[in-house]
A and B are shown apart, each in its own frame.
Chain A
């Protein structure tokens, strides 16, 4: 009798644990799939696995790790450098994987935070930003060369013009560092946290969005050229092309502004009447930008603001598609498929759903 009661109590506690886990959001997605295309293979980091997928038909080549581990989540887009695929996880570990067979080369365990975003790969080193506030410089064997601390987590991949490395941190600052030593050259306060990687133009200007509903242009000397306020939150990475900068906001409005002074040239609402958010990084084609909307729509918009086509997938899109050769790979969150492949005209070719 007592044993039965204890068993019931244990069952109750397990049910409670599950309920609390659900309340805690542990089981829900924390980010969107990170995708990188290379040659005939795409690498997809999503929840507990990194998948290598054939671009021809969407079949899986390998997955890493062989068995899923609790709380080891992969969301940052893998980066290919030489014969290594580098990907960070949410259990503070940065992995180097053999891109051919998915076996582990080495892992770096010296960080104390999540690897939210991808590292920047240079010729002989990796610059890996971490949520523990540090930018880690590693050699290609995973040895620490130097590290640089900012005031808050770094969620944006660094960018470089060959001379300096530019790091945007959630501590509101953009830092310019010497990549050889990690020495700070300058830093400038942008006024709010920066989530996405600044876009560096050929003229050496950084364009970025902050959580203060602003987009800014910053010279490579740290001087702010201009700032433009918008009505809604900008949760996307700006695109710079032919003297114009394009970005989208959480009401689904796409802006085109002049790179020279930030003045608005046109706006186009692609979020419909509901004002569905356009989020993340759009795909940049010769004639169009492809944005992903939160309601699962994929919208192609021309550089003059014309809506070209719309496609829809089942699920949520927190980012735009990734261009891999002549395909657009859409990473889906909370959908029945993980990756959907379209051609450049928006015709669906295949989709990938991980086997359980």
Chain B
């Protein structure tokens, strides 16, 4: 089922591209990754917007005040959270659903690349069986030309320079750098000192590049190439949506929120406008009289994905 719906079509598209570009598997991996990421871009955009709305909520002083107020009353906190979602028109599933839909596609992309780089008998047998004979000719495809630049895409990559007794893992270095860049550039800022998610993200920014570097060091370089392309496309996607602040790469500068794009009327890439102090101060009274009365909700109602006011830097 999984094979028939995802893997087999993906492998055939990948091999079709491979044929189209003169049997260059490196170029085929790059184009295929680009194609799949383009197709899933609308989902990715939705996911980014949804997760940003959730992140902005964490930074919202009003929400922080609610958390503080009801830290010992989980039921009340949950009720207030639901009210907050409703008022601000935040959907907690807005980032989950696109991720769930993208997940099998991205796994399929990864699997298709792995299975196409068959280097053992059973792997090759499986690959040959995946090929649509009406679309592709096995005899002209197999074995795949796995040479790309200085690499054999079926083997872990090392660049051997005359005079050096060891190979330099160029691609591993690029994987580490691009993974770090991507992590830093897309991590949203957090002004909430108790934000556990932000602390986790901070740690991931360091662990993830090392982890990906280790995979690139040990696995076939075709996969490392995919990691690099995927990282660069990921950065490009965030940049397109105006969610990137390049100054985050400066290790001596505190993370700042992304600069809004000029046409950013929809609010993507913007920092949430801080809730007015008076609103926070009023909160206990509101909750006492029944939180989320329609009149007060309407007056405060802000949609995180569509703030009306321009962004002010703190």
Contact = CB atoms under 8 A, between A and B. Distances in A.
B121 A116 contact: yes
Contacts of A131: 119
Interface stretch (B136-144, B234-242, B274-282, B284-292): B136-144
Contacts of B111: 23
B110 to A, nearest CB: 6
B57 interface: no
A341 interface: no
B207 A24 contact: no
Which size bracket describes the interface of A in this complex? 35 or more
Contacts of B139: 172, 191-193, 210-212
Interface residues of B, number: 29
Contact of A155 (B114, B121, B215): B121
B312 interface: no
B127 to A, nearest CB: 10
Interface string B209-242: 0010011000100010000000000000000000
A333 B120 CA distance: 14
B110 A23 contact: yes
Contacts of B143: 152-153, 170-171, 193
Nearest to A235: B125
A54 to B, nearest CB: 28
Interface string A178-222: 000000000000011101000000000000001111000000000
Contacts of B122: 28-32, 318, 333
A61 interface: no
A49 interface: no
Given A31-B120, A195-B121, A9 B200 contact: yes
Nearest to B111: A23
Given A155-B121, A170-B143, A195-B121, A5 B200 contact: yes
B78 interface: no
A9 B203 contact: yes
A235 B119 CA distance: 16
B215 A20 contact: yes
B3 interface: no
Given A116-B120, A170-B143, A192 B138 contact: yes
Contact of A233 (B119, B128, B215): B128
Contacts of B138: 192, 211-213, 233
A200 to B, nearest CB: 22
A135 to B, nearest CB: 16
Given A153-B143, A192-B139, A211-B139, A32 B119 contact: no
A301 to B, nearest CB: 22
A25 interface: yes
A16 B211 contact: yes
Contacts of B125: 235, 279, 318
A23 B107 contact: yes
A250 interface: yes
Interface string B176-217: 000000000000000000001001100110010001001100
Interface string B88-127: 0000000000000000000100110011000111111100
A13 interface: yes
A193 B107 contact: no
A67 interface: no
A90 interface: yes
A76 to B, nearest CB: 10
A114 B119 contact: yes
A356 interface: no
B114, B124, B128, B215 pick with most chain A CB within 10 angstroms: B124
Interface string A20-54: 10011100111110000000000000000000000
Interface string A102-119: 000000000000101000
12 contacts: A6-B203, A13-B207, A17-B211, A28-B122, A32-B121, A152-B143, A170-B143, A211-B139, A211-B142, A233-B138, A235-B125, A318-B121
Given A2-B199, A30-B121, 20 more contacts: A5-B200, A6-B203, A13-B211, A17-B214, A20-B215, A23-B110, A23-B114, A25-B123, A29-B122, A31-B122, A153-B143, A155-B121, A192-B139, A192-B142, A193-B142, A195-B121, A211-B128, A211-B139, A279-B125, A318-B121
The 4 A-B residue pairs with the shortest CB-CB distance, nearest first, are A192-B139, A30-B120, A212-B139, A31-B121
Interface of A: 2, 5-6, 9-10, 13, 16-17, 20, 23-25, 28-32, 75, 90, 114, 116, 131, 152-153, 155, 170-172, 191-193, 195, 210-213, 233, 235, 250, 279, 318, 333
Interface of B: 107, 110-111, 114-115, 119-125, 128-129, 138-139, 142-143, 196, 199-200, 203-204, 207, 211, 214-215, 219, 223
